[in-house]
Amino acid sequence: MSDYVPPDTSVAEKVRLIEAETEAERRWFEHVASEQLQQILHDRARPAATRQNAFGVLAVRLRESPEFREGLARLLEPLLEDPDPEVAQTAVRYCPLSSEQARDKVRRLLDSPHQGLRGEAAVSLARIGDAGILERLLAWLGAEDEAEQNLAVEGLVMLNTPEARTALENAWHQGGRKRGDRVVLSVALLRLGDMRGLPLLETVAEEGRGAWSVTAATWLYYHQPARGLRMMLGILDQGDMEARQSMVMQISNLTRLPHVFTAEGLAEARSWVKRQMALDRRRRQ
């Protein structure tokens, strides 16, 4: 394990600065009146991150209100077509879409040039069972663009109708897709309780090659903790450099490793996995 190279520290510094700025602004917003925060949220001249922070504080305050959904709708419906795609994406993600007018706005976003906004719109409409979204998701699933295929898969999982499940099953049986596509489909089916992709996830995780092996091992962990943890430890011990770095990052996402961007991150990740293995053994005794 002495040959392990931690992820680029410049990324760590950038993340640290962004998180520090966001936290400082959020704390300041906690002392700002809701009326002023609403003005900040709807001020198109302000940066997207500042507007999103204002919404975050307002949403926390709204949770204490018996009219939580109604309050969210009032805040966010005007932002569904905001010219800043990041703000619009946040609005689509959290707006209850309780009115037909709001749903129509989100349907129009399916043609947005911004991929993230298109995907957010599709997932939100699928989540509420919008009748027209299936046709769009099927078109994306059959497209050549890998990103659109992945958007379609997530939308079909959220829709979770017999037609959506059949589409995912058919895509799986057609085969011929790239390694990453097969992992995405296997995970999607697993999330719907369909185990047919488990052998492929095990194979990819055991290979310990690249970030897809980490995705496979992580979802195995969610579904079958003991098996997934063994795969995760195997990647940390014997995976290629990309896989080991990705595994350390993934474990840090789960537990916030203190030294993820140093050589110590690998040992911390291994220690976490071993603790989880011990806990899992005790639960099963």
What is the arithmetic mean of pLDDT over 8-16?
67
Residue 176 has pLDDT above 70, yes or no: no
Number of domains in the chain: 2
Query: Per mean pLDDT, which range of 10-24, 60-74, 203-217 is the poorest?
Result: 10-24
- The string of pLDDT tens digits covering residues 148-164 is 999 999 999 999 999 99
- Mark whether 133 and 193 lie in a shared domain: no
> Does residue 235 belong to any structural domain of this protein?
yes
pLDDT score at 1: 45
> Does residue 161 belong to any structural domain of this protein?
yes
- Mark whether 169 and 111 lie in a shared domain: yes
Contact 266, 230 (CB under 8 A): no
> Does residue 105 belong to any structural domain of this protein?
yes
- Mark whether 182 and 168 lie in a shared domain: no
Taking the CA atoms of residue 174, residue 178, residue 183 and residue 184 in that order, the dihedral angle to the nearest 10 degrees is -80
Alpha helices in 1-114 (DSSP H): 9-29, 34-41, 48-62, 68-76, 85-94, 100-108
Q: Print the domain residue range for 201.
A: 176-285
At 158, which amino acid appears?
Answer: M
> Does residue 144 belong to any structural domain of this protein?
yes
> Does residue 219 belong to any structural domain of this protein?
yes
Query: Per mean pLDDT, which range of 139-148, 191-200, 225-234, 236-245 is the poorest?
Result: 139-148
Q: Residue 268: name the closest of 280, 251, 253 by CA.
A: 251
Alpha helices in the chain (DSSP H): 9-29, 34-41, 48-62, 68-76, 85-94, 100-108, 115-127, 133-141, 146-159, 162-174, 179-191, 198-207, 210-223, 225-238, 241-255, 264-284
> Does residue 282 belong to any structural domain of this protein?
yes
The last residue of a domain, from among 174, 201, 223: 174
Q: Round to whole Å and give the CA distance between 226 and 98.
A: 42
pTM of the model as a whole: 0.86
The last residue of a domain, from among 130, 152, 174: 174
Q: Round to whole Å and give the CA distance between 54 and 84.
A: 15
State the pLDDT confidence band at 11, using cuts at 50, 70 and 90.
Answer: low
- The string of pLDDT tens digits covering residues 35-60 is 999 999 999 999 999 999 999 999 99
Q: What DSSP character marks residue 144?
A: S
- Mark whether 191 and 248 lie in a shared domain: yes
Residue 77 has pLDDT above 70, yes or no: yes
- Mark whether 257 and 213 lie in a shared domain: yes
- Mark whether 147 and 203 lie in a shared domain: no
Residue 167 has pLDDT above 70, yes or no: yes
Q: Residue 86: name the closest of 34, 127, 37, 46 by CA.
A: 46
Domain with residue 110: its CATH number is 1.25.10.10
- Mark whether 181 and 268 lie in a shared domain: yes
> Does residue 21 belong to any structural domain of this protein?
no
> Does residue 12 belong to any structural domain of this protein?
no
The last residue of a domain, from among 174, 190, 214: 174
- Mark whether 170 and 180 lie in a shared domain: no
Taking the CA atoms of residue 198, residue 202, residue 208 and residue 210 in that order, the dihedral angle to the nearest 10 degrees is -10
- Mark whether 202 and 277 lie in a shared domain: yes
Q: Round to whole Å and give the CA distance between 111 and 95.
A: 19
% the chain with pLDDT above 70: 96
Q: Residue 80: name the closest of 114, 115, 106 by CA.
A: 106
- Mark whether 140 and 170 lie in a shared domain: yes
- Mark whether 189 and 266 lie in a shared domain: yes
Residue 177 has pLDDT above 80, yes or no: no
- Mark whether 192 and 226 lie in a shared domain: yes
Within 13 A of 92's CA, how many CA atoms are on the CB side? 30
State the pLDDT confidence band at 263, using cuts at 50, 70 and 90.
Answer: confident
